[in-house]
Amino acid sequence: MVSAEERIPVSIIGGFLGAGKTTLVNHLVRSGAHRFGIIVNEFGETSIDGSLIENVDTDGIAELANGCLCCVGREDLTSALFKLIARKDRPEYILIELSGLADPVPVAQTILDPFARSRFALDGIIAVADARHLERTLQNSPEGAVQLAYASVVVLNKTDLVSPTQRAEAEGLIQKLNPLSQIYPAVQANVAPQALLHQRASTPDWQPQPHPHRHTPHLTSFTLRAERPLERQKVNAFIDHYLIARPDAVLRAKGFLSVKGFEKQVIFQSVREIFSLELSRHPPTAPSHLVVIGRGLDAQEYQEAFQALQAL
């Protein structure tokens, strides 16, 4: 068995076409923050992105071409991961750069598989967004919206090419679409590595932020709240019926639940059908908050169901 400290952290870097993913990878490599291993996934028969990665020995780059990672078999990704750590100077940190069309969730599921998880730890999902074209991307491209919805960190790139008002509008779009993410405005994807790496996105210090209910043509997000403690059996049924059983509709959920019988609030988070529960540092008397991001969801239905979880 490999201890948690010995597992190699892995970050998934997504973002729509032309947002600046490779620029971000190069920036992180040049920073010297770690000895990186890189997996590049180019959609198409001719691989291009791998040749653009700077300052990494060719043995430190694994290229998976002719199909995005969310569509091809997971064995290829697992094989690439283990190939990288078989090197004498094995990487300290691995970056997986997705194609602009890839869904990050199957990639995350591969890393969370018990076989891969014995050696690798999913550190976070980073999305790169183009500040100039963000609104158009969200309106016209469901892939771009979905990538943002899963991100724990968003690099809002190319902010030098927009006005301060446009930048603020882009930040507002991201925050309303995904209030679970941390946003870093950037030029040439230049963000301090410590802001992006070692995220440990399950931090118990996270707090949901108030935000208006917002729809895009593809996604919606809202926050559920309850003042009184929740009944445990009702919470389990809610998770099963309204979250886990709807993986194509509920993309992400995260929040604090005050459940009767627990000494602390419970941190709940899910990505589609993958979910986790752990105790937080907060007292169980605090109100419950749950942020939900998904497709075609009825916020009123969810709010009524969440209110019904409260103990009488």
Please give the mean pLDDT across all residues of the chain.
Answer: 81
Please tell me the predicted confidence (pLDDT) of residue 145. 82
pTM of the predicted structure, to 2 decimals: 0.73
The residue that leads in pLDDT, 210 or 305, is: 305
Q: Residue 241 phi/psi, 5° resolution? A: -85, -40
Together in a domain, 222 and 185: no
The CATH number of residue 55's host domain is: 3.40.50.300
What b-and-e string marks burial along 135-168, b requiring 16 or more CB atoms within 10 Å of the CB? eebbeebebbbbbbbbbbbbbbbbbeebeeeebe
The domain tally of the chain equals 2
Question: What tokens appear for 195 in the block?
Answer: 């802001």
Quick: pLDDT tens for 241-285.
999 999 888 988 989 999 999 999 998 988 888 888 888 888 888
Please tell me the predicted confidence (pLDDT) of residue 193. 95
Task: Decide if pLDDT at 77 tops 90.
Answer: no
Together in a domain, 136 and 49: yes
Q: Is residue 94 part of a domain?
A: yes
Q: Is residue 209 part of a domain?
A: no
Quick: pLDDT tens for 12-64.
999 888 899 989 998 998 888 888 888 887 543 333 344 444 444 445 455 44
How many angstroms separate the Cα of 150 from the Cα of each of 48, 63, 100, 163?
26, 23, 14, 27
Task: Decide if pLDDT at 139 tops 90.
Answer: no
Residue range of the domain that includes 16: 4-196
Please tell me the predicted confidence (pLDDT) of residue 163. 96
Q: Is residue 80 part of a domain?
A: yes
Instruction: Please state, for a pLDDT cut of 70, what percent of the chain lies above it.
Output: 81
Please tell me the predicted confidence (pLDDT) of residue 62. 53
